[in-house]
Amino acid sequence: MPLKLASRTFPLWRSILICSSIIVCLGAARAETTVEIVHYFNVPGQLEGLANIQKDFEAANPDIKIKLTYIPFADLVKTTLQMAQVHKPPGISCIDNPDVRFIAKAGVLKDISADVAKLPTWSDTYPGPKHSVTEGTKVYGVPIGSNSLAIFSNKKMLSDAGVTDPPKTWDELTADAAKLTKSPVYGLVFSATNTEESTWQWEPFLWSNGGSLLDLTAAPAKQALQLWVDLIQKGSVSKDCVNWNQGDVANQFISGQAAMMVMGPWMLGQVHKSGLDFEVTPIPVPKEGEKPVVPLGGEVWCVMKGDPKVEAAAVKFIEFVQDADRLEKLCDTFNYISSVRSVAKKQGEANPELQPFVLQMDTARARPEEGGANYTKVSLAARTAIQQAITGQATVDAALAEAAAKIKPLAAKK
Amino acid sequence: MKQLEAIPERPATPLGAQHRVAPRRRAAWRTALTSYSFILPIAVFGVFLLVYPVLYSLALSFRDATVETIVGGDMPFIGFSNYEQSLADPTFWQALQNTVVFTFCSILFQFTIGFLLAIFFQNRFPLKNVLIALLLIPWIIPVLTAANTFKGLFNEVGPINQIAHLLGLPTVPWLASPGFALAATIVANIWIGFPFNFILLYSGVCNIPPEVYEAARIDGAGYWRRVGHITLPILKPVTVAVLMLGTIYTVKVFDLVFIMTGGGPANTSHLLSTYAYQIGFSIYNYGEAAAIAIVIIAVILTLNLFQLFLKRR
C-alpha cells in the first residue's frame, strides 16, 4: 500500500512543486543548444575527422552539443528536405556541392554571406568552390573541402611496359593505355556507369578540351567523347566500365586488373592499404602545356533555416572549423583538398600524392557552372550520350546531338 | 480453413422469444467485436503502411512535387502532367517494354524449371532431401550477393566469357551491350526465382494421392500423359497462386537490375522500378516518380486480373 500512503501524506500542491522543480532542473541542464549535422560520410578517415572536430568544438563550447546523424548518400537530399518540411530541420546538412544551389531554391538554406565575409579564409577560397555555394550575392554554405580527379598509375606495370612517365597528353594517354594492355590487364579504367559518376569522370576531358555540357554538338565535346570511344574500341579500357561505379574502378586498379585509373583523392587511403606502388599525376590534356580543367567534388556545410539559436550555433561551428590549422587537419583525415588556397598549398607540399589535386584547384570548376540548378538533368542527358556512344548504340555525333536537344530547353530556363 | 467453414451457423432466433433478443444481440455484438479485435492489428498496420502510402503516392502523382515545391508543402495540383511527361519520354516506353519482357521470360523459365524439378522429385532416390535443401539456396541468398556474383560472371573477362572462349564461341560483353544487358539480368532473376516456384509446386505435387497415378497406369497412360492429365490439372490452384505471386515479385524487382546494370547501358535495361528511382532520386522529380510507381501498380493489377480470368476459364 505504499502508493496509497504517498498520495495521502503528499498534498497535491507539494507534488506539483516537486515535479516543476525537477523540470526546471532538467531545463537548466538542457540550456545548451544542439546542432544536428546530417551527412553521408562512411569512410573511416572521414568519420574520424568528424568525430575529432566534434570533440574539439564541444570542449571549446560547452553550451553547444553536436549530434552527428548518418544518412545514406541517396537519401540525404530527400531526408534533409523532409526534416525541413516537418519543421525539425537539422542545424547543418553536408550537401554535395552540385546540389547546393538546387536545394537553396527550395528555400531551406540560410544565407550566411554576412558571416562568411568576416572569415579570413573566405577571401582566400578558390573560385570554383566559392561558385558552387554562391547565388548572386547570397552564400549558402562553406565547403568542407574539395576533391577532383587525377590519374593513378601502377608504377610496376608502367616500368614493365617501358612507360617511363605517366601520360601528360591525350596522345600519350592513348598510346600508353594500349602499351599497358596485356590480357587480362587493361591499360586504363574509368567509370562510365549510369549515374552522375560517368558525367563527372568525363568532364575533366571535356573541359580540358575547352568544351561545355551546354554545347555538346561543338567540336571539343565530340573530340572528348571520341577519346573515350577510341580507348574502349581499341580494347585499352574494358567495355564493362559502363557498369562500374568508382568503387568498382578502384577495385580493378587495386586488384591489378588495370594499370591506370581516373580517380579522386578519397581513394588514396584504400589504395595505400593494398600496398600497391603507385603514383598520382594530373589529368592528361589535349596538347602539351595546356592546363587540365577538372570538376570539383566535395561537400558543403549548409546551415538550415530554423530556430535562430540553432542557426547561430551552426554558424559558430562552421567558423570554428575554418581555423587554418583545424581545417588542414580535417582535410588531411578526409583525404580532401582544402578549398582555401593557403591551406591547400600546405597540404600539397606535405603530401606529394595530394599535390596534383592541389595544382588543379586553380582551374577547377564547380559542376553547376553549367546548367545551374538544372545541372542534375543536364548531367543525366550527357551520361546517356556517353553510354550510347561507348557501347556503339549510336555514333558520337548522333548521341551528342540527341543529348544537346534535351539540354537546350534546360539551359534556357534557369 | 476447412474447419472454420465447417462450424454450423447459429440457429435463427425462434419466433415468440422476443424477450431474449436483446441479450442475444449483445452476445453477437461481443462475438463480432472479439473477432474484429483479432484482425485489428493487421488492419491498422495495413491502413498506415499500405493504404496510406499508396494513396499518398497517387496524390503525389498529380502534383508538381520537386525539391522546390515539396518543402513549402504547396505542391500545386497539375492534373495529368506528370503522366504526360512520362509517356512522352522514350525511356519510359523502353522501361515498360523491358518490364513486360523481363516478367514474362522470368516467369516462363522459373515456372518451367520449377515444375520439371517438382515432378522429378516425385521419384524416390537417395539424398533427395539434401538436394531439395540445396536447391533452395538461390532463394535464400541475399539479392545483393546474387546480383554482384552475376555481375562478376557476366564480366567481359568473367567466367562465362572465358568458357565461351575455350569452346571457341564468340564472347560478348554481356552487361555492356545494349542488346544483352537485359537478357543477363533475366538469367540472374530466373536463377534467383526458380526455387520459389519449385518448392510451392513440389508441396502441391506431394499432396496428389499415388492411387490416382496407379489407376492411370493400369489404364495404360504413359508418363507424360499422366503429367499432362493428372499432375497439371490437380496443380491448377497452386499454379495460379505461384504465377500470381511470381508476377508481383517480378514486376517490382529493383535491386537486382539496379546493382547489375543500373538501368544502363544508355537506359536500355531500365525496368519501371529503376526508371522511377532515377526520376525520383537522380533528378528529384518526386511527382513524376510517383506517377511511374502508380503505373507499376497498374501493371501488376492488370496482369493479376488477367490471371484470375484465366483461372476462371
pLDDT of amino acid B309:
84
Burial of A336 per CB tally in 10 Å (0-12, 13-18, 19+)? buried
DSSP for A121-175, written as a single string: TTTTB-HHHHHHHEETTEE--EES-BB--EEEEEHHHHHHTT--S---BHHHHHH
CB proximity A241 to B under 8 Å: yes
- Among the listed residues A398, A193, A235, the one whose alpha carbon sits nearest the alpha carbon of residue B265: A193
Nearest-angstrom CA–CA distance, A407 and A401? 10
Interface ipTM: 0.76
Q: What is the mean pLDDT of residues B291-304?
A: 91
Identify the burial level of B307 via C-beta atoms within 10 angstroms of its C-beta, where 0-12 means exposed, 13-18 middle and 19 or more buried.
middle
Chain length of chain B:
313
What is residue B7's predicted lDDT score, i.e. its pLDDT?
A: 47
Partner B contacted by A136 (CB < 8 A): no
Contact with chain A for residue B71, Cβ under 8 A:
yes
CA torsion angle for B68, B71, B77, B82 (degrees, to 10)?
50
List B33's β-bridge partners, or say none: none
A391 touches chain B (CB under 8 A): yes
The three grid cell numbers given for residue B25, joined into one nine-digit string: 444481440
Q: What is the CA radius of gyration of chain B?
A: 26
Distance of CA B136 to the CA centre of its chain: 17
Mutate which of B56, B66, B151, B157 to disrupt the A interface (most A C-beta within 10 Å)? B157
pTM of the model: 0.82
Angle (CA) A146 A150 A154, round 5°: 135
Please, which pLDDT band fits residue B2 given cuts at 50, 70 and 90? Answer: very low
Burial class (CB in 10 A: 0-12, 13-18, 19+), A13: exposed
- Between chain A and chain B, how many beta carbons pairs sit less than 8 Å apart? 96
Give me the helices (H) in A241-307, please. Answer: 246-254, 268-273
Q: What angle do CA B154, B155, B161 make, to 5 degrees?
A: 70
HEC string of B43-59 equals: HHHHHHHHHHHHHHHHH
Residues 68..127 of A with a Cβ closer than 8 Å to B: which?
74-75, 77-78, 81, 84-85, 102-103, 105-108
Distance of CA A26 to the CA centre of its chain: 40
Q: Is pLDDT larger for residue B254 or for residue A13?
A: B254
CB-based contact A65:A34 (threshold 8 Å):
yes
State chain B's mean pLDDT as an integer.
88
Q: Looking at the predicted structure, is the pLDDT value of residue B26 above 70?
A: yes
Query: In the prediction, which pLDDT does A58 show?
Result: 95
Closest CA in chain B for residue A384 = B266
Least confident stretch, A339-353, B157-171, B190-204: B157-171
Q: 3-state DSSP call for residue A35? A: strand
Q: Which helix (H) or strand (E) holds A34?
A: strand A33-39
Based on C-alpha coordinates, what's the Rg of chain A?
Answer: 25
Task: Report the percentage of chain B scoring pLDDT > 90.
Answer: 67
Pick from B69, B175, B267: which is nearest to A384 by CB? B267
| Distance, CA of A106 to CA of B66 (rounded, Å) | 9
Question: What is the 8-class DSSP label of residue A240?
Answer: G
Residues of A in contact with B173 (CB under 8 A): 238-240
Spatial separation of the C-alpha atoms in residues B177 and B154, rounded to whole Å: 11
Contacts of B265 in chain A (CB under 8 A): 194, 242-243, 387-388, 390-391, 393
- Model pLDDT for residues B206-215, shown as the tens digit of each residue: 999 999 999 9
When CB atoms are compared, the residue of B69, B73, B266 closest to A393 is B266
Mean pLDDT by 10 residues, chain A (414 residues): 46 59 54 90 88 95 94 86 86 93 89 93 93 92 95 96 95 97 93 93 97 96 97 94 92 95 93 94 95 95 94 96 94 94 95 95 91 88 95 95 93 66
CB A346 within 8 A of CB A358: no
| Res. B192: pLDDT tops 50 | yes
* Cβ distance of B178 and A107 shorter than 8 Å: no
Predicted confidence at residue B257, as pLDDT, reads 95
Chain B touched by A305 (CB under 8 Å): no
Pairing assessment for the beta strands A258-263 and A150-154 based on DSSP bridges: antiparallel
Q: For residue A336, give Cα distances in angstroms to A53, A57, A123, A146, A319.
A: 15, 20, 20, 6, 19
Contact flag B282-A183 (C-beta cutoff 8 Å): no
Separation of alpha carbons B277 and B290, rounded Å: 10
Whole-number Å distance between alpha carbons of B45 and B48: 5
Q: Evaluate whether A192 touches A242 at the Cβ level (below 8 Å).
A: yes
Q: What residue in A sits closest to B261 (Cα-Cα)?
A: A243
Orientation angle between helical segments A196-208 and A375-390, nearest 10 degrees: 80
- Tell me the pLDDT band of B308, cut-offs 50, 70 and 90: confident
C-alpha–C-alpha distance, residues B28 and B40, integer Å: 18
- For residues B108 and B304, which has the higher predicted lDDT (pLDDT)? B108
Percent of chain B topping pLDDT 70: 92
Instruction: Tell me how far apart the alpha carbons of residues B28 and B210 are, in angstroms, rounded to a whole number.
Output: 45
3-state secondary structure of B69: helix
* Cβ–Cβ below 8 Å for B265 and A393: yes
Does pLDDT of B121 surpass 90?
yes
What would the grid cell of residue A319 be? Answer: 567558423
Classify strands A138-139 and A134-135 as parallel, antiparallel or unpaired.
Answer: antiparallel
CB contact under 8 A, B157 and A183: yes
Query: What CA–CA distance (Å, rounded) separates B156 from B137?
Result: 26
The length of chain A in residues reads 414
